[in-house]
Amino acid sequence: MSDNFQEQVQRAHQQGDYAALLQVIPYARLIGIECSRQGDELLFRLPANRDNIGNPLLPALHGGVIAGFMELAAALHLLIGTGSPGVPKIIDFSLDYLRAGQFRDTYARCQVCRQGRRVANVAITAWQSSAQEPIATARAHFKLEESPGP
C-alpha cells in the first residue's frame, strides 16, 4: 500500500472520521459506503442510491451491491480495528440473503469471531428497518497484512 493510504488510515484513527479514508477506496466511493463510530462499535451505512438498484420493478438493491457492501464493511472493520497497514485480503466469503434489500438506506455491523496473527474471521449482519430483521448475514475470512518491521 502507498504511504498516502497509510497516512489516511492513521489520520482516520486519530480523528475518528473515516470519510476521507473511504474516498481513497474506489469501490467504497462507487457505492457510497459510509462509516461512523457508535461507542465502541463501527456502523456502516449504504445510502439509498438509484445506481445500486438491481431490480427496478420492486425496486430492490442488486445482490452484488449488498455482498460488496458487506465484504467491504468487514475489511474496513478489520482495517480500523487492528490498525493494519493496508486493507486485509479476502480469503473466503459466504453470504445468506434473507430478504430483499429495498430501496432505502442499508446498515451493517461486524463482529470479529476469531483473529490470529495472519487470519481473521468476521461475521457481518446487514439490515434496513431493524437490526433484528436482517436482510443478509455473512461470514468472511481475511488474510491480515503484517505491519512493517523496524
Which range marks the domain in which residue 108 is found? Answer: 3-143
Residue indicated by cell numbers 464493511? 73
Rounded to the nearest integer, the mean pLDDT of the chain is: 88
Of the listed ranges 46-50, 100-104, 105-109, 115-119, the least confidently predicted one is: 115-119
Angstrom CA distances, 103 to 70, 78, 88, stand at 16, 28, 29
Task: Say if CB 128 and CB 134 are below 8 A apart.
Answer: no
In a domain, 150, yes or no: no
For residue 18, being part of any structural domain is answered with yes
Residue 92 maps to a domain: yes
* Reported confidence tier of residue 2, pLDDT bands at 50, 70, 90: low
End-to-end alpha carbon distance in the chain: 17
pLDDT category at 8 given cuts 50, 70, 90 is confident
β-bridge partners, 8: none
Please report the pLDDT score of residue 144 as a whole number. 86
What are the tens digits of pLDDT across the range 15-40? 778 888 888 889 999 999 999 888 88
The type of residue at 143 is K
Residue 63 lies in a domain: yes
In a domain, 139, yes or no: yes
**In the prediction, which pLDDT does 114 show?**
81
Confidence of residue 145 (pLDDT cuts 50, 70, 90): confident
Burial (CB count within 10 angstroms: exposed 0-12, middle 13-18, buried 19+), residue 24: middle
Residue 16 lies in a domain: yes
62 domain-assigned: yes
148, part of any domain: no
Whole-model pTM over 0.85: yes
What's the CA gap between 150 and 138, in Å, rounded? Answer: 36
CATH of the domain at 35: 3.10.129.10
Closest by CA position to 122, among listed 85, 89, 84, 78: 78
- Name the domain count of the chain: 1
